[in-house]
Amino acid sequence: MSFDQLRWYSNVVMEYNPGSYINLDFDEHNTRRFNRHFISFKASIDGFKHCRPLLFLDGTFLKGRFKGNLLAATAKDGNEGLFPVAFAIVDSENVQNWASFLQNLANVVDGDRVLTFVSDRHVGIIESLPTVFPTAYLAFCMQHLQRNLKDKMKYVNKLYRVGMVSKLRACAYAPTVTAFSEKIDAFIQSGRHIAINFLQDLEPHRWANAYFRGKRYGEMCSNAAESFNNWIKEVRNLPITHLVDAIKTQEMNQMSERRGASSTWAGAMCPVMESKLDKAYSDERSWIVSQSNDDVFEVHSHPSVLVDIGKCTCSCFQWQINGFPCQHAMVAFRNSGNNLNALVEPYFHVSTYQLSYFHTIYPIPTVEKPHANLKNYVILPSVVCRPPGRPKKKRIPSKGE
């Protein structure tokens, strides 16, 4: 019944939240089986325009009678908060469903911004993303890479595993090609055939800071996507229409709460970012600063670096990598006389944050919901598939058979 109610629910969402995007897909001509249901509310579509052009992709299992998976695209607001953009219920996490999800997502996000996606290495994402988002960048989640590396070292010494993972992280975080080359050599020498095998199909431009050309604002892991999965943990066992509506209610409440909270913020920066700025600004450094012109400074750290406040760059590359002023920039700023807020991207400003939550997700009343009629069902549930690796139960014959 709940699968068939998606028809009614989709229509009502568009009535009360016009401008939302919904795609309900099922086999209309043969089996009438459910395939997928994609949804993005108008308030989320408009709000994402004021978040960083960064999306985290992930999927999670559903626990209801008919199983299935939930795929999600999640962003972060200017205060590092979870910002759900779109999600879909699918019969399984496969290449076809990820391709469909990304095609629907392309109808939701602003095509004028260059996007960066952070995800695991699911083949559906890797194959579909370049076609659907040809100008976007894809970064692999560091936590997934670490788990993949550990899987290749199941039967080796634990201390050795920890050391190899640490060396892999050092490669990923290295800011320059020179530093990366040094770290990757140490990784290969320590791991030998394990390291060579692990790196065989792993292009550096997908995971290493030194080679990545998109902007991921220092986000090395798909933690926002995993936070979304944890956020919906309690509703994953609900029937499908109730599940979709429960997620809608959570998004609606979150938007309302954050809209109200941000109205009381007095500063120009979001609180989390303001705290980071204050810490960096007040950090006592004995570095000497030499000034070249109004924008360019040399900070005599170890080693010394060049800071260009006008271009928002530092030769340590941390400003470019994180999209947020590094400690060298903050030290140089003290000598510049510039407005500190101008050094920080608008996405971290309170005014931009408030625009993210300016719009409203409206409730979906059920007072006019039609009564269920078995004879009028159009959509049937998807076929339940056993999770990979679970053996089929053997039937034990009864006495006399």
Query: What pLDDT is attached to residue 122?
Result: 94
Q: How many helices (H) and strands (E) does the chain have?
A: 14, 11
Query: What pLDDT is attached to residue 391?
Result: 47
Grade residue 271 by pLDDT with cuts at 50, 70 and 90.
Answer: very high
pLDDT at 2 over 90: no
- pLDDT, tens only, 68-96: 999 999 999 999 999 999 999 999 999 99
pLDDT at 167 over 80: yes
Please check whether residue 228 is in contact with residue 82, taking contact to mean a CB–CB distance below 8 angstroms.
yes
Grade residue 398 by pLDDT with cuts at 50, 70 and 90.
Answer: very low
Q: How far apart are CA 401 and CA 15, in angstroms?
A: 59
| Cα of 375 vs its chain's centroid, Å | 42
Please check whether residue 352 is in contact with residue 4, taking contact to mean a CB–CB distance below 8 angstroms.
no
Q: Of residues 122 and 230, which shows the higher confidence score?
A: 122
Query: What pLDDT is attached to residue 233?
Result: 86
pLDDT at 281 over 80: no
Q: What are phi and psi of 275, to 5 degrees?
A: -65, -40
CB within 8 Å of 215: residues ≥ 6 apart: 52, 53, 54, 114, 116, 137, 323
